[in-house]
Every structure is written in C-alpha cells, then in structure tokens.
Amino acid sequence: MLDYKKIIEKYSPTLEERRKLENISNKVSASISSYCHENAINAVPKVVGSFSKDTNLKDGDLDIFIAFNRSYSEEFMEHEGLKIGHAVLPDAEERYAEHPYVSGKIDGIKIDIVPCFQIKFGEKKISAVDRSILHTEYVNEKLSRGQHNEIRLLKIFMKSAGVYGSEVKVSGFSGYVCELLVIAFGSFSNVIKKFSETKGKFIYPDNREEFDSPVVIIDPVDTGRNAGAAVSPENLSKMKLASKLFMRNEDESFFRIERPEKATVYRDRGTCIKIFRVPKPDRTDDVVYPQAVRLKDTLFKIMNEFNLEPVSFEIYIDNYVEILIESRMCKSNMINVRKGPPVDIDNAIEFYDKWISGIAARGPYIIGENIYVDIETEPMDIEKLVRTNINKYSIGKNLDIYRNSIEIIDMPRDGTRMKILDRFFSKSIFD
Amino acid sequence: MLDYKKIIEKYSPTLEERRKLENISNKVSASISSYCHENAINAVPKVVGSFSKDTNLKDGDLDIFIAFNRSYSEEFMEHEGLKIGHAVLPDAEERYAEHPYVSGKIDGIKIDIVPCFQIKFGEKKISAVDRSILHTEYVNEKLSRGQHNEIRLLKIFMKSAGVYGSEVKVSGFSGYVCELLVIAFGSFSNVIKKFSETKGKFIYPDNREEFDSPVVIIDPVDTGRNAGAAVSPENLSKMKLASKLFMRNEDESFFRIERPEKATVYRDRGTCIKIFRVPKPDRTDDVVYPQAVRLKDTLFKIMNEFNLEPVSFEIYIDNYVEILIESRMCKSNMINVRKGPPVDIDNAIEFYDKWISGIAARGPYIIGENIYVDIETEPMDIEKLVRTNINKYSIGKNLDIYRNSIEIIDMPRDGTRMKILDRFFSKSIFD
C-alpha cells in the first residue's frame, strides 16, 4: 500500500512556508486596502490562486487581485491597478496576459498583482481574470476537509505524468480543473478510476457534448465555458494511460515530479536531423509557443512539398526558439510529381497546354480524375529549400522578422550536447 | 474543316474485305446449320459482333455464335458447341472466357465460335454471352443509315485516345457502348459534345444513379445491367479531356490509331526504378491482368510499409508479366516509427509493457490518441524487403506460384531497351 501521507508531505508547503505566504499576502492586501482608502478608490484586494484555496504545492506563487467596482472604466481599472501594484510591490515588472498586471518578489516569493472587476455569480463576465475570484469562492465553498490533500495528490500525479499546467507550452490540466475534478468525483482515486475507464473524449457533466475539445469540464461559475479547453489530445491520452497503469500497479513512481537527468545517447538514426533556431522574442511563452508551432508546421509543409518526408519534431524554447525536425531524406529528388487540376474544370486544358510542349520530364498523364506531370528539378538540400520557400508563409507577428535569418544547425557529430537533442532522444510518454 | 469521309475510309474495311468476311461468315454459318441438321441438334448459327452490325473497322474479326434451344442443359450446350466449333473450324483452339469457345482462322481472318442459349428480349439471361445476339438485333433495329459511320468515327477517336476496348487490360469503352452512344445522342459530334460537358460520372439515361462505376450506360436489352461498367476512372477522364481538346481544335491528330514509335530517352530520374518479372501464366489477359495489378499493389504495400515511397508504376504483359515500380528510396531507413494501439483499448498496456523495457530506439511516446515507438532495424534494400515479405500476401491463383522466384531487375544503365521502360518514359495521356 502506498503511503499517500508521505507523498503529500513531500510536495506540500511546510508550516513555515504557509506562514510566510500568509504573512506576505496579509501585508500586501493591507497595503492595497490602505492605498485605495487614501486615494478614494473603490477597490478591494482578493487573494486568489491555489494558496487561497489551500490546494497549493510547495514553492508556489501568490496571486493577489485588485477587484475594482464595476462603475469604473476599463482604462481606469488597468491604469490605477498597475499604479497600486507598483506602490505595494517595489521593483515589480509590468506583464501582459489578457490584461496588464505587475509581477515581483517579496522574500523570495513570486507575487502577481492583477487588477480586475468585481463580479458576482451569474453576472456577465467583463474580463477573463474577473472569473478567478469566483473560482476561489466556489472552490472554498465546495471543498470538504480532506479534499484539499486529494487535490494535491492529483496535482502531483499529473505533474509526474507531464500533463499538469494549462499554459500553451504544456496544454495540460490547470490547478482549477484538478479542484473541479475532485469536487466532482470526491477523491483522487475516483478521478483516476474515471480517467482509466474513459473512452474518447472526457466530458463532465456528461450531457455537455457541444464542445470540440478532447476534455470538457464545465466551469460551474460560468456554465457556458469549458474549463478543460486547454488540454491537448496527447495529454488526455497520457492521463488515461497513466491512470490505467496506476490502477494496475499503484507505485510510488507515479508521484515523482523531479526526474533524474538521464544520460541520453544520441544515436545515429540513419535519418536527417536538423535544428532550426531563431532568437526568442521578448514575449511570454503563451505568445511565443503558438508561433513556434507555426514555424514547425511551415517547415513540415515545405519539406513535405519537396518529399523530404519529415517524420518527427521537437520544440524547445529557452533563450532561443529551437525546432528540431527529423526527415527521411536530406535532399529533394530530381523528379517531382505535380498534380494538376481535375479534367472536369477548364484549367485542365491550360495545364495540358503548358506541359504538352515537351518541357515535362514525363507526361502529362492522367490518374483518376486529375492530370499530372513529372517535372525535373535540381536536387536541393533542406537548407536551400527552406531558405527559398520560407517567405511564402506567415509564421506569426513576432517570428516573421527572423524568417530570413533562421540558423540551420546539423545534428552535431562531435558529442556536443543540446537540450533539444536530449529531449528528442529521450522522448517518452510521461516527460 | 476535317474530311471525315477520308478518315472513315482510312480505317474502314475495303469492299474486298467486306466481301471476304461475308463469304466466310456465310460458309461457316452454313456448315454449322448442316452439322446441326445432320446431328439433330436444335441450334442455329448467329453472326454477331461489329461485322454483323456494319460498324466494324478494318482488319476485324468474326464472331459467330451457336444459339442452342433453351431446353438443352448447359453441359450439353457447351460440350456440343465445342464439337461443332472444331468440326466447322479446322485447327481451332479451345479458349475460355465466361464460357468455353473455339478460336481459329480462315483465310487470315480470326474467327471465334461461341456456343450459347437462344433468348428473347426480356427473357431471363442464362449466360453473359447469350445477350450478344440480342445486342446485334437491337443495334440493327435502331441504327439509321448514316449512323454506322458515326460509330466508326467514334471508335477511331476512342482508339486514338487510348480508351477503346472493354478488356481488363484497357478498361475502356466497348464497341457496343459506342453503338449505344450514337443511338442515344444521334451522331459522333453529339457524343463528343456530351463528354466534353460532363462533370463527374457519365450517366445515361441520367436518372440511373444506382451504379457505382464512373460510366453508366444502361443496356437496353437488359435494363438492370450497366454496359459501361468496364470503363475505368482514368479512361473516362481521358475521354472527357480528349473531347474538350477536340471541341477546341478539330484536328486530324485525334483520329490517328497508329502511333509512330517514339525514340524514348531513358532519363536518370534520381529515383529508384526496379522491374519485377514473372512468367506469364497460360491464361487470357482478362485473367492475368487483375493478378498483375494485385502483384503491383502488393509490391506497393511492402514498399510503403518500409517507407521506400513508391511513386509510380507500369504494367506490361507479353511473354512475361512485368511490373515497373519507381520509388523515392532504394533502401529502408534504420528507424521505423511503429504506430501502436489507441490508449483507449487494453492492448495499449501490452504495447507499453513490451516497449518500455528499453529495446526501443525511442519511446514509447504518444501522438494524439495512439502510442508509438521508434524501432531500429537494419536498413534493407528493395530486393531483400520484397523477398522477405512477399509470402505474406496472396497475389492470385496463377501468380502465387511465382512469388518466390520473382526476377528483380535494376533499370539497365547500358542502353538496353525494354518495352516496359519505353512505356514508362513515354507515358502520356492518350497512349
């Protein structure tokens, strides 16, 4: 039998950490209150996030919202909100997610101070962040005593399975979703059982089939919203498989957040591995990551167009945005089969006229409903193909400027280690 | 303006040829009649085929059916039919299509003598050949004077476009279909216009949408039958395109049955071209051809399984069955991505257990709903892959015996010419 108490203890904040968070949040809240009082601003501090719900793991952050009266304009709320943030949190930086906020540190604890509007259950939401306060209220009202640690257990399990976190880079389950799951099914083991038995999409409550996402978990404070929308198909699959494996063999290894660095061997795979690198734009991961994915998709498209047969990839964002692509071939063939229009449309005649003159390597000829032609091109390597074709595609606001200066790196053969290669070669289910 | 009369004349039988066919068919019919009389067999000779309908092109054959009274058994009809055939046609060979028949020559004219049952319009068909007599009667009743040459023109056009002939190897339009088309639309040009305007399937009459084939032409003597069932999608596309091109520019080149031998250049396409050869079984093309296609499909399947990326092929049947396959690669990669089961099914756990032990080159990992693993194999060339995998597949009754002795020929680099390479390199729309 697993010693759940020990597992929870290992990853929960110590009494000391709890007190420290308590002190800091009280102090910051008090500062906000007095600032508002002195400046006659109708706004109140609200501690939100996992700490406020007693579902936090150790080494967590603090999230403190400043809830403005709804009579203020959005501009006022944002502008004054930032001012209050700076006043109560020295040396804070301004950040921008859906709204601007400030982020800083006190005594080593990261604190985000986020202005928002105060809303009540059922009221029309004004901004996405406004909901957070309701989430905290809902969870605190619904959770019974023992369930806080059930939630911690679920979070540890999900972290260990690599599916925890709703940021785009992870596309997994958020802390709030963990809370909703335990509220819905009662305990950690019931949640695991549920995932191990689920076929296809995960939907709760199960009559809500109108959403497209693989995971649908209706947000009780805004019942038109899917709180599980961020979860990717891969992460649902991982969670199902992890749950099945755990049901079969309840083992401590399912609660291991830190992984030992594996000494990954870079094998020769007989394929072509290239790393494409651009500087990381000064934006949050949630902004950069989708653009990195689009860069990867674009590189795949180009390589597919010239039949280099890309087969796998890895994305790694650090100081750089790096995309690794493995393809079956390093050079394009001399012959490309070009599919022309179907004979039913008038363009077919144009296509025929163009290629019948003898400039084709073969054809035109017909397969099924379409005309085809084989054309001869000089064989081109990946680098040349990418450089000559990348400008046809838009990769996204912040990466487009780097399109013409992509660094293209061969897989090093001299033992040089790269994080993205470590990731690629150690790819496994739950990392 | 095209001189249609000249075109028709060029490919129609001369008066001399007509007389010769007339004489031979009269003579053979008379012999059949007297044989039946002498042996008290209730059967009559029926001249069928294009000669009997005056829609034949020059250098054609004769088809003479022996129509037995329906009171006979099938065995009797077939047995006595062959006997009569041998009696009236010395040195004839027995052949087998849907039924046995004899085939021989008199004065250089090829003659098929085919036993069948005599049926009337609307009577339940007994064998496929029984219908031929009704086809002849129907066409002769419906055709008006000038239409015989309209049919000849259509046949010449279709031969020139490479779409004439319902045998499996061609999968095109039969002579009977040409006759039905002219009867339906009145003239050669109306038929061409119709094809040039057709989008999607060709259906006549147009309310008969229950057939799956690209071309549906209801047989008026058996209205549950599609007389156009043999036509492949490619040949319908070719006929549409040829018709469009002809409508744009009425040119004599659309009526050129004989093509000058082109001096095809065997280019280096930077791909891998192999020819697979087995002896031709002693069966008709209609039996052998589908098996050759299955051999091609099997080779494609094997090459696809190991990611050799087959891209094009050619089939050529002469003394051998030859399959040419062009692929992007000559050797398999070392790394193969193996797609495992979806995580929703129990096998997923087995797959996971099997590969997690460390024998995989990478993984297992998850993409979408499935588990995958990369496995390392020794790179294998096409020959080795085909030889080790071909026995998993059934190619067909007559080719299976050659599975283990397939000759695999590299594309010759020394200028040696092969018919199949000529076909491959000169591939064009209307050949």
Distance from the Cα of A309 to chain B's closest Cα (Å) equals 9
Distance from the Cα of B125 to chain A's closest Cα (Å) equals 33
Question: Residue B51: pLDDT above 90?
Answer: yes
Distance from the Cα of A98 to chain B's closest Cα (Å) equals 29
Residue of A nearest to B329 (CA): A329
CB nearest to B270's CB, from A343, A344, A379: A379
Residue of A nearest to B426 (CA): A362
**Residues A366, B267: C-beta atoms closer than 8 Å:** no
CB nearest to A425's CB, from B349, B362, B366: B362
From chain B, pick out residues whose CB is under 8 angstroms from the CB of A349.
241, 244-245, 248
**Residues A334, B271: C-beta atoms closer than 8 Å:** yes
CB nearest to A234's CB, from B241, B333, B366: B366
Going by pLDDT thresholds of 50, 70 and 90, the confidence category of residue B334 is confident
CB nearest to B427's CB, from A199, A238, A362: A362
Give the orientation angle of helix B147-160 with respect to helix B175-185, to 10 degrees.
Answer: 130
Q: Supply the pLDDT for residue A125.
A: 66
CB nearest to B237's CB, from A269, A328, A369: A369
ipTM here: 0.80
Cβ contacts from A onto B, under 8 A: 138
Question: Residue B376: pLDDT above 90?
Answer: no
Distance from the Cα of B290 to chain A's closest Cα (Å) equals 18
pLDDT one digit per residue (tens) for chain A, 431 residues: 789 999 999 999 999 999 999 999 999 999 999 999 999 999 999 999 999 999 999 999 999 999 999 999 999 999 999 999 999 998 999 988 778 899 999 999 999 999 999 888 777 765 677 888 999 999 999 999 889 999 999 999 999 999 999 988 889 999 999 999 999 999 999 999 999 999 999 999 988 878 989 999 999 998 889 999 999 999 999 999 999 999 999 999 999 988 776 678 888 888 899 999 999 998 888 889 889 999 999 999 999 988 888 989 999 998 899 999 999 888 887 788 888 999 999 889 999 999 888 788 888 999 889 999 998 888 889 999 999 999 999 998 999 999 999 999 999 888 888 989 988 888 887 76
Distance from the Cα of A343 to chain B's closest Cα (Å) equals 6
Going by pLDDT thresholds of 50, 70 and 90, the confidence category of residue B252 is very high
From chain A, pick out residues whose CB is under 8 angstroms from the CB of B337.
311-312
CB nearest to A366's CB, from B238, B344, B365: B238
CB nearest to A237's CB, from B233, B271, B368: B368
From chain B, pick out residues whose CB is under 8 angstroms from the CB of A194.
none
CB nearest to B348's CB, from A241, A271, A427: A241
**Residues B365, A425: C-beta atoms closer than 8 Å:** no
Residue of A nearest to B335 (CA): A269
**Residues A241, B352: C-beta atoms closer than 8 Å:** yes
CB nearest to A244's CB, from B199, B349, B368: B349
Residue A279 is classified by DSSP as E
Q: Which of B327, B349, B362 to mutate to test the interface with A (most CBs of A within 10 A)?
A: B362
Q: Which of A362, A370, A377, A378 to mutate to test the interface with B (most CBs of B within 10 A)?
A: A362
**Residues A241, B362: C-beta atoms closer than 8 Å:** no
Distance from the Cα of B315 to chain A's closest Cα (Å) equals 14
Q: Supply the pLDDT for residue B126.
A: 59
Residue of B nearest to A307 (CA): B328
**Residues B312, A337: C-beta atoms closer than 8 Å:** yes
Question: Residue B120: pLDDT above 90?
Answer: no
Q: Supply the pLDDT for residue A371.
A: 92
Rg (CA), chain A: 27
**Residues B344, A307: C-beta atoms closer than 8 Å:** no
From chain A, pick out residues whose CB is under 8 angstroms from the CB of B343.
237-238, 240-241, 244
The pLDDT tens digits of the residues spanning B148-173 come to 999 999 999 999 999 999 988 889 99
Strand partners, A83: none
Residue of B nearest to A429 (CA): B365
Residue of B nearest to A234 (CA): B368
**Residues B307, A307: C-beta atoms closer than 8 Å:** no
Question: What is the 3-class SS of chain B, one letter each residue?
Answer: CCCHHHHHHHHCCCHHHHHHHHHHHHHHHHHHHHHHHHCCCCEEEEEEHHHHHCCCCCCCCEEEEEEECCCCCHHHHHHHHHHHHHHHCCCCEEEECCCEEEEEEECCEEEEEEEEECCCCCCCCCCCCHHHHHHHHHHHHHCCCCHHHHHHHHHHHHHHCCCECCCCCCCCECHHHHHHHHHHHCCHHHHHHHHHHCCCCEEECCCCCCCCCCEEEECCCCCCCECCCCCCHHHHHHHHHHHHHHHHCCCHHHHCCCCCCCCCCCCCCCCEEEEEEEECCCCCHHHHHHHHHHHHHHHHHHHHHCCCCEEEEEEEECCEEEEEEEECCCECCCEEEEEEEECCCCHHHHHHHHHHCCCCCEEEEEECCEEEEEEECCCCEHHHHHHHHHHHCCCCCCCHHHHHHCEEEECCCCCCCCHHHHHHHCCCCCC
Question: Residue B125: pLDDT above 70?
Answer: no
**Residues B335, A270: C-beta atoms closer than 8 Å:** yes
Backbone torsions φ then ψ of B312, nearest 5 degrees: -155, 165
Residue A42 is classified by DSSP as -
Separation in Å, CA B264 to CA A107, A261, A361, A372, B261: 82, 61, 11, 19, 9
Question: Residue B242: pLDDT above 90?
Answer: yes
**Residues A333, B335: C-beta atoms closer than 8 Å:** no
| % chain B with pLDDT above 70 | 98
Q: Supply the pLDDT for residue A235.
A: 94
